[in-house]
Chains A and B, each alone.
Chain A
């Protein structure tokens, strides 16, 4: 019994120390990076690594868009505006990887999937956000992109993973207008392009 207590104490102590490490890491991470990376669980590190190319290129696409280097079709109404533009930004990120010669299209698809895996986990498995917080247009945007990527990938494993995500979304969505929004975002995705 005494040994058991020691073991428990050690394990508890270790958990506490891990928390401290996370806090220390937060201080250690360079400022420009710390702004958009957060460690929630150790498992997130792997996902983060995989999704980093997409995440970074998405964020870098914003200033490119504001400087007129990316053309994104205007969303049809104010309600659809934010995620409509973000759909275009996502598309730009997907294009940027191969354009810079840094990632193949397939690598970008995988990177995007890693991000979606995390988003779906937080939304649907962990239910981290209430229905009020979780924007239907946000889900519609993801849905549109996942659908596009499912058609584009040549990787059968990725294809079935994307199909799985779509099923999860289908089983969680009840809005009648959802498919119309998805359709609009799909068009935006198709029509987004870079200009010289």
Chain B
């Protein structure tokens, strides 16, 4: 059986000796063999299996991802097997997972208990599952141990991923993977232009969840509300139309196109009531002739 010295193992795991010793002391990486030579120095050897297990089950996510990126499909299959064997299946990341179509295979098998066991706390995968929530209710029921009435509520919240706050609460109860949860919630938030981002961020923050960057949705404005961005868009329409009219007719419209004499003319007919299009009461005095 191949064995590796401390230095060799550190090279394989792309870590320094100090960290490796620390890891070894934490018993995440068990020495395969240890002996002391005549001069009193320790010689530590690790088995290939132990190193691989550490890589797959304990290595920090970032370097683990790098490791996975270098794996071919056969190696990935091996990684998955190791994960399953060690109950660390949830560490497998979505890109790799997609490459192998594992989720599809598992969902097709409809082995909900196994799915729940394997996916417990893995938010990115869970998102994939909730996408199919309507047809996989037993999965959610098993995951959250929910009764029918709760399921209806949850279904409402999750069916279109419209209620991230509910998700946050539920995840708080059911997951330990905070950073992944944060990314997940962040991606949900980014998808929801019409939701208030700050509100969700704050809520997430109160629960100790970091939502991180919002990712792909660049249109979410920094003020945190998609709704506000719609207002800005609308304001631009107003400004642009005003300019168009001024240019076309060669006139300057009043800075505030608003009625200066509310008692005058037909505007008084509109007194204290909605405007003609029901937009708001205050319009009763706006833009009068």
Contact = CB atoms under 8 A, between A and B. Distances in A.
Interface residues of B, number: 57
A25 B244 contact: no
A40 to B, nearest CB: 9
| Chain A CB within 10 Å, residue with most, of B149, B274, B288 | B274
B169 A52 contact: no
A177 interface: no
B278 interface: yes
Given A21-B199, A42-B194, A60-B245, A67 B251 contact: yes
A39 to B, nearest CB: 8
Given A25-B225, A38-B280, A64-B249, 8 more contacts: A8-B153, A11-B157, A32-B256, A37-B234, A52-B234, A63-B289, A85-B266, A118-B278
Interface bin, chain A = 35 or more
Nearest to B243: A100
Contacts of A60: 241-242, 245, 253, 257, 287
Interface string A105-131: 000000000010011001100001100
B61 interface: no
Interface of A: 3-4, 6-8, 10-11, 13-14, 17-18, 21, 25, 28-30, 32-33, 35-39, 42, 45, 48-49, 51-53, 55-60, 62-67, 69, 81-83, 85-86, 96, 99-102, 115, 118-119, 122-123, 128-129, 133, 138
B277 A63 contact: no
Contacts of A49: 230, 233-234
B286 A36 contact: yes
Contacts of B144: 3
Task: Name the prevailing secondary structure of the B interface residues.
Answer: helix
Contact of B241 (A56, A63, A115): A56
Contacts of B225: 21, 25
A28 B231 contact: yes
B147 to A, nearest CB: 8
Given A13-B165, A66-B289, A102 B235 contact: no
B241 A138 contact: no
The residue among A8, A11, A18, A118 with the most chain B CB atoms within 10 A of its own CB is: A11
A45 B288 CA distance: 25
Nearest to B248: A100
B196 A36 contact: no
Contacts of B146: 3
B280 A37 contact: yes
B71 interface: no
